[in-house]
Structure 1
Amino acid sequence: AKGAGVAIRPHLADLVTCMLESLSSLEDQGLNYVELHAANVGIQKEKLENLRISIAKGSPMWETLELCIEVVDNQSLDILVPRLAQLVRSGIGLNTRVGVASFVTLLVQRVNLEIKPFTGMLLKLLLPAIIQEKSGHAKRAFASACAIVLKYSTPSQAQKLVDDVAALHAGDRNAQVSCAVLLKSCASLAADVMSGYYATLIPVIFISRFEDEKYVSGLFEELWEENTSGDIVTLQLYLEEIVSLATESLTSSSWASKRKAALAITKLSETLRESLSTYSQVLLNSLLKEIPGRLWEGKDALLTALAALCVSCHKAICSHEPSAPNAILGVITSACTKKEKKFRESALCALEQVIKAFNSPEFFNAAFPLLYEMFNPTTAGTKSEQEPSGSGSVKSDSGEEAENYVPRSKILDCTTSCVDVASVGDLLQQKQNLLSLLSHALSPSFPWTVKVSAFLSIKKLCSKLKATAVNLGDDASHAGLTALVHELFLAVSPKVVDCIQTVKIAQVHVAAAECLVQLIELYGQFQPAPALGQGFKHDIAQLYETEKNEQAKSLLKNCVVILGNL
């Protein structure tokens, strides 16, 4: 081949085809055997494939193939390319598959524009080869070949390939990996062509970052980082296309597609904040349509997306449709009643965020009765939540236990948000249920995490009542508020003291002491009759003397001082 030069041109097709096939047929069969049993002996298949390919490309046969490329001309291309296409379609063996893909890549780099008459045929064959190929090395080799051919294709051919590649993101794992591998090759070898189709490809890359499988999402994450100039700029530039693809994916029959679209909407909301307002109504309508109905694995992501959208775009949502907040609240409160544990917890988290976002006093009466019912101590057969005391996660329950699970900490977090937005009149109307819930939350039977959430609710209620008292001019309202303060103090103060005495966790002591400061200050502000007894003051003084945590001790000292001035 070295000496023959152009004399071998008439025989190039036969020579190249024969040598490419021989890369596999003449390989040491021992390597094939080792690969078949690689897993059994602890050898990584990927590394073994790499070894086989390296040996093949270091052989005299591959050197000869490279020499053949040097003598290719237009006339020999007419015969050679169809033979290569046939080998792409039917070649067998790892070395042959990688060999023909690599040969096509080198050939196109050698002839450049002269490959144009064959780009359509090659693209039609190379894309299916990428998808069907099981070997990672061969898949990447065919992707490189496809990308280099794309560089010289016509606009219509490029558009067809881009559309086909973009559609792969909604397929199975292999289709998604094929999509990512090909896009990575295109970004490297045909960046100028690829950049013209970013409006189609960027949304696919963005949404595919949220695939369940880490390997797949990692591939698209790399693509995103390599082909964008920062989240905010890129998302704003292609926002219309991303929103369109996200809403389309939400209506897919695939649960995985729905879930990753919801996660993408969450990311959009958290990143763009109010800049997403233009499309908030489209996204809101899509989410509200998908949340009701049967449950499926991963559906909780829709609730998270809805909450994130409301937090970021609550002003635009209210401005466009004043009744929208109530509709959103209705969908979320309905989701809170579902039995599936993870979905119910996500619904409660969403409820808390939505109440805070819209800050509507109406939400208290709409949500609190449900929260009270869910927490209701008279409910039979409920399972007290078992929350993590350290870094471990809550184990999933199954069957009847999962149905009876009560996420009390999250219910209390929602209650805190409800209290924050409530009017004083609504608080007085729900006084008995509110005090019953807070008192019951401090029961010894519940984990310390529930108690900490209860302390937060009590502190929020105290702050609310303090702020309200300043603006009260009505004697009747003041009397009602004074009665609420008195009953609140009597209902929860002894239980807060009991928590400090019985729970040996520093975090609980600090939170409980903060709660006591708020309760005593509130009591002092209203001075309801009868006055505080000496027994309570003695208990607080004793707690102060025995407390070991410095922060809690300092707070308890404040309690002693305030009580001394009452």
Structure 2
Amino acid sequence: MPITSIHSSLAQRSGELLEVLSSNNQKIRQLAAKAFGMLAPLNDKASGSINKLRSFIESAGPSPPAALSAQYQGSIASLAGFTSRSMLYGKLGNSEVHVKFLNDRFLAALDAGDAAIRDSAIDAVNQLWSVGLSFPGSLDEFDRILGALFKLGEANNEKAIRAIGRLAIPAAADRETGREQSTFMDLVLNQLFKLFEVKRTEVHFATGEALASVVARWDSDAVQLGLDIQPQGAGESEIIAILRKRPEKIAAVLEKLINDCKTTKPSLLKASGIWLFCIIQYCSHLPEVQARLRECQVAFMRLLTGRDELVQETASRGLGLVYERGDESLKGDLVKDLVASFTGSKTQLKVDDDTELFDAGALPTGEGKSVTSYKDIISLANEVGDQSLVYKFMALATNAATWTARSAFGRFGLSNILSEADLDPKIYPKLFRYRFDPNSNVRRSMDDIWKAVVKDSSATIEAHFDAIMTDLLKSILDGKEWRVREASCAAIADLIYGQQFTKYEKYYTDIWRVTLRVIDDQKASVRAAALKLCMGLSKSLVTQLQEHNSSGSAKAMITQVLPFLLSDKGVENSVDEVKVMAITTVLDVVKHGGDTLKPFIPTIIIHFLGLLSTIEPQQINYHYQRVSEEDREGLDKLRSSAATRSPLFECITNCLRFADEAVLKELAPQLVQTIKSALGLQTKVGCSEVLSTLALRHSILMPPYNGLFLKAMETQVLDRNNEVNRAYAKSAAYLLRTASSETRERFTSKLTVLYMGAEEDARRQKVADAVLAIAKVSPDAFNDLESRLLPFAYLGKHDTDEYVSEAFEEVWSQHAGGSHTVKRFVPEITEFIIKALDTSKWALQHGGALAIASMVTALSSAAGKDGQFGEAELKTIWPVLDKALALKTFKGKEKLITAYPLFVRHGKKLWANDKAVATQTKKIAVREAKRNNDDYRPFAFKALGRFASARGDLDMYKEVAGLVSDYLSPDVKETQSDTERKTTQAALKAVLNAYSREKMRSDPAAIMQDIVATMEESRLALKAARDAWFAGSVEILAEAGAAGTSLPTSVHEVEARKWFALLLADEADVILESQRLDRAKALGAAIKAARQGVFGPAKELESVLADMRTKVIEMASAERSLDVQKALRNAAD
């Protein structure tokens, strides 16, 4: 099908595109409007669609609501596209009607607040101006439009800037305005030139495009690229053919831009470069531009020295564009200029007061100010009275400009131009050195040039190796600029890297000589580069060792090099750079030196242990002094870990691989002395790691030295730094593996002495660390010493300090863990407890008391509920327990008093046959219950009740009831504190446990009467201790029911009803479900006891039982809990 038929077919459907104009997707709206503009002019029936567009636009008004905004934008764009393309198709028709309509909308949109509406109106009128339509009818209207667009352009609106350029396309723009012989076009150009102050780069490119549109109109690619149809008829002849370039304006604009590229004003310089680039980009095919490409080239070359990277990039890309669009002669000139700039050393600077010569902050003068401009240089020179500063600063600025220009070569494509030139071989040494310039821009640029110029890098270096090396050595010695010296060092390091030694053997001495000369250069970066080169040289030395390790020359090299490097001129040098170089070299030599190192191993190890504490950054120590103790712990772990993982310690480890008897004989006394004198954490941790490594890798050699090292460890495990003491503890544990029995006994005995003599918690913590280390690291040694260490750990795990307790708990769990182990070591544990109780330190006394309590509990668990302790155990434990209970109350003593009834219950063999002991046990129970400590009292009361229960030979009911009566009295508060509530519960439990079991078996009625009487007087206490009352009732009633033949023959109806009533005393109160369930069980126990005859013959208590069952059934009916209902019904049944 012919293309015209396709157009015709599509044009007939152009009206369908109007449905898409309301889309919220801007891209879809724009495409639809563009398609409509291209097709509708070809549709003879498009008038309906056009009328529809105009009607909608008119109805929406100049400021359409948000709901209609999208459709309004699409409609404006569609109508403008239709009008402009109608002109290009040559179908002029009544375009003036639409033009005026759109122009009115545009003028209204300029005043509107909606940016989207305004931008759509600008796009619409932009299309009209491009085809010569809608030029303002008056100067005032022109000023209004130009002013509004310029204001938007200053606000970074690129559409407005491009519209300013299109405003000058119509022929009417060439008319005189009547103002100082200027045309409308001149006014447009003036406004565009004012935009140089805008900082945004995209705005400058939009301005450059607008300038191209003004001076070349449809001859400019900027305008041509917007053409999306083929102009026809009048559209071709009356628009495209007429609205052509303006030669005189092209020349004038080029002249201005070329001159402005010489300015010293940074913002104008940047803008002029970009605008000139745009003119060439869009108009380089025009003769007027071609004729001045050489001048443009010079302007861009000048811009290469700019300090702004964007200016450099613009200049570089501009030169590339000139090279691309120019003829052969121009290309040759450009190559010559670039090579001259590359190899030359002089750059002419044109400056005035505001010329920016240095980056802000590069040359600070104090008070937040810095030298940046020529004016600042003059002011500084006048201030200090030294006019020579002007020349010094300008020399710096000139040098900076030279390197700035060079740095732009590779970064922005100029290397492609240089690659086409025939270069003198003498350039290779310079180019090779430039590749290592300290300035990253220069370095990157030179790399790009090298890759472009040198096709085979390896071959080129091979061919010019001697020339390059000679130039570099000379540059290090004679280079006046620090950057030349630094680059030369880096270049030599790269040049010899990977080369065979024979390649640079004749230069080796000279390289060392010149490198050492600049290793203390006044410029830090030069020193760093020289140091790096030294490291490379040391690697070459290592390579020789690897290849010829056992040769006489290798041994001679080590013999000469190591003493020097380990002296104060090497690893202990005050110059950090030299120190690092020496350390690094020693590390490499040790790594590959092999057996030839043996004579130097002790010296290397001792020196490097000392160095461990000197290499830590000062910032860490600064922060360490200012953080909390908890944070210091974490920081110490990191510091110690860093020390043992550092290259220095790796070197020490490598040395230890070659340790033998001769080495250890010399090393041991030096190492002990270092351990004693070390101050830094890293050195101490390093010493501990050396000991551990020796114990693990050279255990056969260690027995003669274990005693010496462990003697030193006796004090080092107490180091005030936790990380250090743990490290030494681990080392001591490793040493114990191969230590003799005598040495083991002495060391562990010393630990127990240190623990017992500790004046503070910290020392006991460190002893705990040591014991824990033995338990983990040397389990066999621990097992050999378990008769001392396990009892010791048992005492320690009850220490009042949490850290100590946890550490010893871990020891105990790992090597014992059960109550039978306690039974096995009762004498030994007791011995340690006695020592703790005999000290004057409260912490140890309390720990001993807790230990005896725990031991009694463990023995009780091992004996079972009704078992008895052995006589030997009882005689061993009793005096210690008596002494511990005599201590004043302390935090944790409740554990001791809780364990006391257990001892009485399982110790019948002791007190049953010894009246004094029996009397003392009762005295202790009563004494502890009378202690005036609110927190301790509940436990003492409970223990008193359990004691009375355990002592079946005593009837302590009245004594106990009287002792706790104050806490069961009727005036007890209904609302109690937690401690008061616990005391009341304990008091009630004590009373309910204190009855005589023998009397219960012989006369249960009397016991029941006593208890009922006491409970009657303690009704309020029953509310505070419901759980104890309900549970105690079940136990007492059950035991009374088991009395059998001793049950009463007479009726005790009153007691039965009272007991039942006491259980129901809080029936009206809201209590927990669990408590209601316990009460139901207690009621069931009461009914069962009545049936069993606890309150007299059951037959005579039928009415009581009936009342009880009736009440219980009534409660079950009202109860909402199914479990409680079930319990109540079971009680009734």
- Shorter-chain TM range is 0.7 to 0.9
Task: Give the corresponding residue for 2:859.
Answer: 269
In the alignment, the residues of structure 2 paired with residue 49 and residue 283 of structure 1 have an alpha-carbon distance, to the nearest angstrom, of 44
Contact 2:904 2:947 in 1 (8 A): yes
Deviation at 1:415, TM superposition (A): 2.5
Q: Which has the higher contact order (CA 8 A, sep 6+)?
A: 1
The residue identity in structure 2 corresponding to 1:141 is A
**Range moving further from structure 2, 341-350 or 422-431:** 422-431
Which of 744, 747, 751 aligns to 1:158? It is 744
Deviation at 1:111, TM superposition (A): 3.8
In the alignment, the residues of structure 1 paired with residue 641 and residue 968 of structure 2 have an alpha-carbon distance, to the nearest angstrom, of 72
1:491 and 2:1058 matched:
yes
Deviation at 1:353, TM superposition (A): 2.9
The residue identity in structure 2 corresponding to 1:302 is L
Structure 1: gaps spanning 5 or more residues: 388-393, 396-401, 562-566
The residue identity in structure 1 corresponding to 2:613 is S
More helix by share: 1
The residue identity in structure 1 corresponding to 2:926 is T
Which of 299, 305, 308 aligns to 2:902? It is 308
Task: Give the corresponding residue for 1:550.
Answer: 1122
1:344 and 2:937 matched:
yes
In the alignment, the residues of structure 2 paired with residue 24 and residue 168 of structure 1 have an alpha-carbon distance, to the nearest angstrom, of 29
Cα distance 1:435–1:367, how it changes in 2: closer, same or farther (>3 A)? Answer: closer
The residue identity in structure 2 corresponding to 1:25 is T
What's the CA shift string for 1:194-250, capped at 9, x where partnerless?
32211110101122222333332222222223223x514533443332233234434
The residue identity in structure 2 corresponding to 1:196 is D
Cα distance 1:27–1:160, how it changes in 2: closer, same or farther (>3 A)? Answer: same
Matches within 5 A, 1:280-429: 280-292=874-886, 294-311=888-905, 313-318=906-911, 321=914, 324-358=917-951, 360=952, 362-364=953-955, 366-375=956-965, 386=976, 394=978, 407-419=983-995, 421-424=997-1000
Cα distance 1:289–1:478, how it changes in 2: closer, same or farther (>3 A)? Answer: farther
Calculate the TM-score normalised by the size of structure 1: 0.81
The residue identity in structure 2 corresponding to 1:478 is T
Q: Aligned to 2:1017, what secondary structure does the other structure show? A: helix
In the alignment, the residues of structure 2 paired with residue 201 and residue 439 of structure 1 have an alpha-carbon distance, to the nearest angstrom, of 56
Deviation at 1:96, TM superposition (A): 1.0
Deviation at 1:343, TM superposition (A): 2.5
In the alignment, the residues of structure 2 paired with residue 223 and residue 70 of structure 1 have an alpha-carbon distance, to the nearest angstrom, of 33
In the alignment, the residues of structure 2 paired with residue 191 and residue 377 of structure 1 have an alpha-carbon distance, to the nearest angstrom, of 54
Deviation at 1:27, TM superposition (A): 1.9
The residue identity in structure 2 corresponding to 1:135 is N
Which of 722, 725, 728 aligns to 1:135? It is 722
Matches within 5 A, 1:7-406: 8-39=597-628, 44-136=631-723, 138-170=724-756, 171=758, 172-228=760-816, 230-253=817-840, 254=842, 255-273=845-863, 274=867, 276-277=869-870, 278-292=872-886, 294-311=888-905, 313-318=906-911, 321=914, 324-358=917-951, 360=952, 362-364=953-955, 366-375=956-965, 386=976, 394=978
In the alignment, the residues of structure 1 paired with residue 642 and residue 993 of structure 2 have an alpha-carbon distance, to the nearest angstrom, of 66
Q: Aligned to 1:386, what secondary structure does the other structure show? A: coil
The residue identity in structure 1 corresponding to 2:618 is Q
The residue identity in structure 2 corresponding to 1:280 is L
Cα distance 1:307–1:507, how it changes in 2: closer, same or farther (>3 A)? Answer: same
Corresponding pairs, count: 529
Deviation at 1:128, TM superposition (A): 0.9
In the alignment, the residues of structure 2 paired with residue 349 and residue 318 of structure 1 have an alpha-carbon distance, to the nearest angstrom, of 21
Cα distance 1:337–1:260, how it changes in 2: closer, same or farther (>3 A)? Answer: closer
The residue identity in structure 2 corresponding to 1:357 is A
What's the CA shift string for 1:250-307, capped at 9, x where partnerless?
4443333333323432343244224742302321232124324643443333212322
Cα distance 1:34–1:535, how it changes in 2: closer, same or farther (>3 A)? Answer: same
Contact 1:269 1:308 in 2 (8 A): no
Task: Give the corresponding residue for 1:434.
Answer: 1011
Contact 2:656 2:694 in 1 (8 A): yes
Deviation at 1:6, TM superposition (A): 5.1
Q: Over aligned residue pairs, what C-alpha RMSD do you find?
A: 3.5
Task: Give the corresponding residue for 2:1025.
Answer: 450
In the alignment, the residues of structure 2 paired with residue 190 and residue 69 of structure 1 have an alpha-carbon distance, to the nearest angstrom, of 22
Cα distance 1:79–1:318, how it changes in 2: closer, same or farther (>3 A)? Answer: same
Cα distance 1:442–1:457, how it changes in 2: closer, same or farther (>3 A)? Answer: farther
% identical aligned pairs: 17
Contact 2:1034 2:1085 in 1 (8 A): yes
In the alignment, the residues of structure 2 paired with residue 79 and residue 456 of structure 1 have an alpha-carbon distance, to the nearest angstrom, of 76
Deviation at 1:102, TM superposition (A): 0.9
In the alignment, the residues of structure 2 paired with residue 532 and residue 226 of structure 1 have an alpha-carbon distance, to the nearest angstrom, of 61
Task: Give the corresponding residue for 1:399.
Answer: none
In the alignment, the residues of structure 2 paired with residue 414 and residue 234 of structure 1 have an alpha-carbon distance, to the nearest angstrom, of 33
Task: Give the corresponding residue for 1:391.
Answer: none
For the pair shown, which has the larger CA radius of gyration, 1 or 2?
2
Cα distance 1:455–1:201, how it changes in 2: closer, same or farther (>3 A)? Answer: same
Calculate the TM-score normalised by the size of structure 2: 0.43
Contact 1:120 1:157 in 2 (8 A): yes
The residue identity in structure 1 corresponding to 2:993 is S
Deviation at 1:335, TM superposition (A): 1.4
Cα distance 1:471–1:98, how it changes in 2: closer, same or farther (>3 A)? Answer: same
In the alignment, the residues of structure 1 paired with residue 631 and residue 1022 of structure 2 have an alpha-carbon distance, to the nearest angstrom, of 47
Contact 1:517 1:556 in 2 (8 A): yes
